[in-house]
Structure 1
């Protein structure tokens, strides 16, 4: 974006209001250094988005259609894939519009709605990750009690708790940020509306809001991380006491995909959100966020399908049935 165009868009989105200004919208900067490759990047990003969406839809469909996958593990996997599909759908279309059409403006309300949806779904994914680790702990460490404890009612309650807790935590934070005063530059150095860059643009004192954001994101990430570490610590101990190498390998194979996904998610999100001052490293946050919203959603369905024999077998049989139907 040229400086002249940025100034023009800024003037259009700010109107006078007494001694201050009333914000009508923001400008999403995207990736200005490579904007000249917009059409090529649009095609690459579109293919990646379609691949991640198709992969997650396949996982949701196959876990619903194949009765052998009607277990708590695949129930949580289906919910996880559905939530991840919604998250990418809230972030990527705007970046596609930026690359293809140069449409960088976004209204005030749309910006905060997008920020809420992305943070709400992101927090839900981390709570789901911890629930999935508890499910693996129960299956491996408490196999006799597993069918009784992890019944459909408990699974539904756990999923509802993940969504409800995320909604409660994120709603208050987004409302708090939306009540700040915005009277300066309107260019968000990001490809979607995130609370860190938004707080950086505010002309209010954001110290308390930044600490609240830091506390909530730390709570979400640390809670999920601690639950996961405790459960997998117990799984490793139980696994080492299994009598045969084959049993140990089978127990670990059910958790390896989960651990890979955990590494991808925690790595990027800790880099983006867990720092007291959101004003630091805003530029580098874009690259980390791109990994979290594009690369990881593409890899997750591949990891779960190729490393999971049951899903792999269900997919092969579904494809065979489709060929026979023709």
Structure 2
């Protein structure tokens, strides 16, 4: 080990290809990034500004949108810069900071989705006690728990992987610092550390997904007991958006981090990575806004009562 060079930076391969193809991908992902930020910023601003939306469900949606903003920002700006330069490098410290924030925000999203499932369970299965149980103190405490736990639960895997010896090669076949890629590059691979990291990730993902499914099993049983068809449809519509987001999000992360240890091509990992790291944050605000009448009404109200009058007054002042 004394004659081996310690790695001080990593090379992110990203999406290699012809210059024109890279420019097209840059424009495409930049457009997706701007749309994602805009959609989540709108949801956050509307929920914070409209007092009618100051309810537990929308509090959790607001927290989820904030997490999505930072979640996609942890990887996409660096990926976009890689399309414009020949050799996309990231320092050792920068790589593990990206690793930390991306997976901490991902863990936070898992926990927020779980609390949203619990909130829907209480609203449908215990409607008379809902306001008593899910009061402002409760949902603020749950939101704080999601953020604090999300940013602390991944500390052990990150510390273990960062202390592995990296002596070359230093080329990561991905567009961000993925733990599987990093452990592949270690010059002294530790199966114990791999098992610990795999166990940590699997427990977090599967336990949160299991709790959400238990909530929805109870919700389904409660909906089936509702006598009227209209009542059943109304009850299910209140949680359809959340369930859609859960299935999309967890399907991709389970495939990536809870799959068997068999070898998969890294190009497939990059495609799946694009889906859960870039496309899912774009899909979420669309699902929540298009399937939620209260959010749509609040957005229209904000546009017509605040944005349009300001634009008209600005236009008159210019004239």
Relative to the length of structure 1, the TM-score reads 0.92
Q: Residue 32 of structure 1 aligns to a residue in which SS?
A: coil
Which residue of 121, 138, 145 maps to 1:154?
A: 138
Which residue of 142, 164, 171 maps to 2:148?
A: 164
Question: Which residue number corresponds to residue 233 of structure 1?
Answer: 217
Looking at structure 1, the residues matched to 131 and 290 of structure 2 have their Cα atoms a distance apart, in angstroms, of: 26
1:46 maps to 2:26: no
Aligned-pair distance for 1:150? 0.7
Question: Which residue number corresponds to residue 316 of structure 2?
Answer: none
Looking at structure 2, the residues matched to 22 and 73 of structure 1 have their Cα atoms a distance apart, in angstroms, of: 49
Say if 1:278 and 1:100 are closer, same or farther in 2 by CA, change over 3 A: farther
1:174 maps to 2:133: no
Relative to the length of structure 2, the TM-score reads 0.94
Question: Which residue number corresponds to residue 89 of structure 1?
Answer: 73
Looking at structure 2, the residues matched to 240 and 276 of structure 1 have their Cα atoms a distance apart, in angstroms, of: 36
Looking at structure 2, the residues matched to 239 and 125 of structure 1 have their Cα atoms a distance apart, in angstroms, of: 26
User: Number of residues paired by the alignment?
Assistant: 310
Looking at structure 1, the residues matched to 188 and 260 of structure 2 have their Cα atoms a distance apart, in angstroms, of: 17
Looking at structure 2, the residues matched to 222 and 214 of structure 1 have their Cα atoms a distance apart, in angstroms, of: 12
CA deviations on 1:171-200 (whole Å, 9 max, x unpaired) are 111011000001121110100011110000
List aligned pairs for 1:176-191, cutoff 5 A: 176-191=160-175
Aligned-pair distance for 1:99? 1.1
Q: Residue 19 of structure 1 aligns to a residue in which SS?
A: coil
Looking at structure 2, the residues matched to 318 and 284 of structure 1 have their Cα atoms a distance apart, in angstroms, of: 42
Aligned-pair distance for 1:33? 4.3
Return 56-65 or 19-28, whichever deviates more. Answer: 19-28
Runs of 4+ in structure 1 displaced over 4 angstroms?
A: 33-36
Which residue of 16, 29, 33 maps to 1:32?
A: 16
Which residue of 72, 82, 85 maps to 1:98?
A: 82
Q: Give the RMSD, CA atoms, in angstroms.
A: 1.5
Aligned-pair distance for 1:167? 2.4
Looking at structure 2, the residues matched to 299 and 136 of structure 1 have their Cα atoms a distance apart, in angstroms, of: 21
Q: Residue 142 of structure 2 aligns to a residue in which SS?
A: helix
